[in-house]
C-alpha cells in the first residue's frame, strides 16, 4: 500500500466549522420552524458588482469567436490586470510596486499556503493566537511543526498571543524567528495596526533577516487614515515582506476566485552556502510549473473593479458591510457586551459573559436567539472567552439578530 503523508495525521480534526454545523443541525432538529441567522462564516452575502459581471459577460462573448478566443494565459496573470493593480493599489499610495512583482492567483488561501513551497523546512515560524487557521494547518501539512500540544496549538510554532491587554496587537518576539504571519485588518479579531506599529515589525524583520507574510485581505474595510492598507507603505518592507491580497472580500469574489500576491524583486533568502537567492524567481518558477493562471474571464471581471463604476460599487459594498458592523457594535455595547473590532474590519470580536466559555456562549446564542456565531477558541487557545460575529449579512438579518440578542 502507498504511504500517506504522516504530517496530515498530526492535524487536529477540522474541528471548528464541522462542530458548528453539527450543533446547528441538532438545534434545527429540535426547533425546525425557527429562523436561524448565520453570523458565523466569513463569506460575503451581497451579489457581484455589475461592472464585474458586465466585463465577464463581454469576455465570455469574445471567447465565442475565433478572433477573441483565448487559451492558456500567462501563469503570472495578464499584464493589463497587473498594471491596473500596481497603479490603483500601490503607486497611488506611494508604494513602488512594479506590475511584474504582482502574481495573479485564484485565492489568497492557496497563495498563503503554497508560498511555503519556496522556503526551507527549517525556518522558525511565528503566528498570532488567535489566528486564521490556514496559516497553521499549512505548516503542519508540510512538516514544519511537531505534534499537536495537549493545551492547544502545535509543537515547534511560536505563538504570539493577541488579547485585550495588548490591544490585539502581537508583541514583537524576544527571540529571532524566520517567518512571521501578520493579518491586518485581522481575522478573527478585527484589530488593526498603525503605520508606526507596523514599522516596528519591518525593523525587526530587517534586523533579524526575517520574512513577513502580510495578509491584507481586509484592507478595503479600513476607514481610519493612519492605518496602512499595504505593508509597502512602510519604508524597508520591500526587503522583508510578501503581501497577500484578494478580491474575495472587497468585490465579493469568494465564489469567482481571484487574488494576488506581491513579491518584490528586492526580496531574498539564502541557500545552505549562505548565498542570496531572489524569492521572486523561485515563486515565478513555482507558479510556471504548478499553476496555469486564472481564467481570462475572471481576470476581466477583476479588471473592472478598477473602472469608475466598479470602484463606486466596491465602495458601496464596503459601506454596506461597515454599516452592519457599526449597528452590531452599538447594539451589543448598549446591551452591556464588551466589543472589539468592527470599525476597520467586517468582524466584531466580543467578550463572552465571564461565567461562560466560547462554546457555552455559542450554545446559549443558538438556543435563546437562533443566532450562529463563531467561538473564539476555535481560532486558538487565546481566543477562549471571545466570540466572532461577522458583518457579512443583509441589513434586515443584522437588525433582527441584534434585536434578538438585546431581548434575550
Ligand X SMILES: *Cc1c(COP(=O)(O)O)cnc(C)c1O
Q: Report the nearest approach of ligand X to the CB of residue 193 (Å).
A: 15
Work out the angle between the directed axes of helices 16-30 and 358-369 (0-180°, nearest 10): 30
The CB-side HSE value for 280 (13 A sphere, CA atoms) comes to 16
Closer CB to ligand X, 185 or 264, in the complex: 185
Q: How far is CA 2 from CA 6, 8, 142, 182, 326, in A?
A: 12, 15, 18, 37, 53
Closest approach of ligand X to the CB of residue 338, in Å = 23
Tell the smallest beta-carbon distance from residue 215 to ligand X (Å).
5
**In the structure grid, which three cell numbers stand for residue 136, read together?**
497553521
Contact 20, 372 (CB under 8 A): yes
CB of residue 11 vs ligand X: minimum separation in angstroms? 19
Q: Which is nearer to ligand X, 259 or 314 (CB)?
A: 259
Nearest-angstrom CA–CA distance, 48 and 16: 28
Minimum CB distance to ligand X smaller for 261 or for 370: 261
183 vs 242 by CB, closer to ligand X: 183
What's the CA angle centered on 310, arms 305 and 313, to 5 degrees?
Answer: 120
Q: How far is the CB of 138 from ligand X (least distance, A)?
A: 12
Q: What's the DSSP call for residue 64?
A: T
CA distance 20 to 40: 9
Closer to ligand X by CB, 42 or 373: give it: 42
Q: By C-alpha distance, which of 298, 263, 261 is closest to 281?
A: 263
The answer to whether residues 346 and 221 touch, using CB atoms and an 8 Å cutoff, is yes
Minimum CB–partner distance for residue 266 and ligand X (Å): 24
CB of 43 to ligand X, least distance (A): 8
Residues found near ligand X in the complex (CB under 6 A): 42, 107-109, 132, 183, 187, 215, 217, 246, 248-249, 254, 259
What's the CA gap between 241 and 180, in Å, rounded?
A: 9
Beta bridge mates, 340? 349
Nearer to ligand X by Cβ, of 322 and 369: the residue is: 322
Indicate the residue among 208 and 254 with the shorter CB distance to ligand X: 254
Which residue has its beta carbon closest to ligand X? 107
Amino acid at each position: 500500500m502507498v504511504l500517506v503523508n504522516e504530517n496530515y495525521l498530526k492535524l487536529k480534526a477540522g474541528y471548528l466549522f464541522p462542530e458548528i454545523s453539527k450543533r446547528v443541525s441538532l438545534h434545527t432538529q429540535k426547533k425546525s420552524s425557527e429562523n436561524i441567522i448565520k453570523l458565523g462564516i466569513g463569506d460575503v452575502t451581497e451579489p457581484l458588482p455589475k461592472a464585474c459581471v458586465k466585463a465577464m459577460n463581454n469576455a465570455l462573448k469574445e471567447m465565442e469567436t475565433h478572433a477573441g478566443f483565448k487559451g492558456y494565459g500567462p501563469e503570472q496573470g495578464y499584464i493589463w490586470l497587473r498594471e491596473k493593480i500596481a497603479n490603483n493599489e500601490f503607486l497611488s499610495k506611494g508604494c513602488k510596486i512594479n506590475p511584474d512583482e504582482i502574481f495573479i492567483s485564484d485565492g489568497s488561501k492557496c497563495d498563503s499556503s503554497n508560498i511555503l513551497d519556496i522556503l526551507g523546512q527549517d525556518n522558525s515560524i511565528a503566528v498570532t493566537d488567535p489566528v486564521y487557521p490556514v496559516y497553521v494547518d499549512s505548516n503542519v501539512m508540510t512538516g514544519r511543526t511537531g505534534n499537536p500540544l495537549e493545551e492547544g496549538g502545535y509543537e515547534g510554532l511560536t505563538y504570539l498571543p493577541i488579547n485585550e491587554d495588548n490591544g490585539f496587537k502581537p508583541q514583537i518576539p524576544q527571540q529571532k524567528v524566520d517567518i512571521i504571519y501578520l493579518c491586518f485588518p485581522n481575522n478573527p479579531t478585527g484589530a488593526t495596526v498603525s503605520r508606526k506599529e507596523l514599522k516596528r515589525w519591518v525593523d525587526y524583520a530587517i534586523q533579524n533577516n526575517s520574512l513577513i507574510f502580510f495578509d491584507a485581505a481586509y484592507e478595503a474595510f479600513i476607514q481610519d487614515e493612519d492605518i496602512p492598507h499595504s505593508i509597502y507603505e512602510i519604508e524597508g518592507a520591500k526587503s522583508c515582506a510578501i503581501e497577500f491580497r484578494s478580491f474575495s472580500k472587497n468585490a465579493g469574489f469568494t465564489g469567482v476566485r481571484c487574488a494576488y500576491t506581491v513579491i518584490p524583486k528586492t526580496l531574498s533568502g539564502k541557500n545552505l552556502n549562505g548565498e542570496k537567492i531572489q524569492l521572486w524567481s523561485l515563486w515565478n518558477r513555482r507558479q510556471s510549473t504548478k499553476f496555469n493562471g486564472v481564467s481570462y474571464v475572471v481576470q476581466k471581471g477583476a479588471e473592472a473593479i478598477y473602472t469608475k463604476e466598479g470602484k463606486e460599487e466596491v465602495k458601496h459594498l464596503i459601506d454596506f458591510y461597515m454599516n452592519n458592523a457599526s449597528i452590531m457594535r452599538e447594539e451589543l455595547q448598549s446591551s452591556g457586551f464588551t466589543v472589539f473590532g468592527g470599525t476597520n474590519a467586517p468582524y466584531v470580536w466580543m467578550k463572552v459573559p465571564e461565567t461562560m466559555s466560547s462554546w457555552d456562549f455559542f450554545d446559549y446564542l443558538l438556543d435563546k436567539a437562533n443566532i450562529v456565531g463563531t467561538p473564539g477558541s476555535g481560532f486558538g487557545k487565546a481566543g477562549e472567552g471571545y466570540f466572532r460575529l461577522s458583518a457579512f449579512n443583509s441589513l434586515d438579518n443584522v437588525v433582527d439578530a441584534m434585536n434578538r440578542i438585546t431581548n434575550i
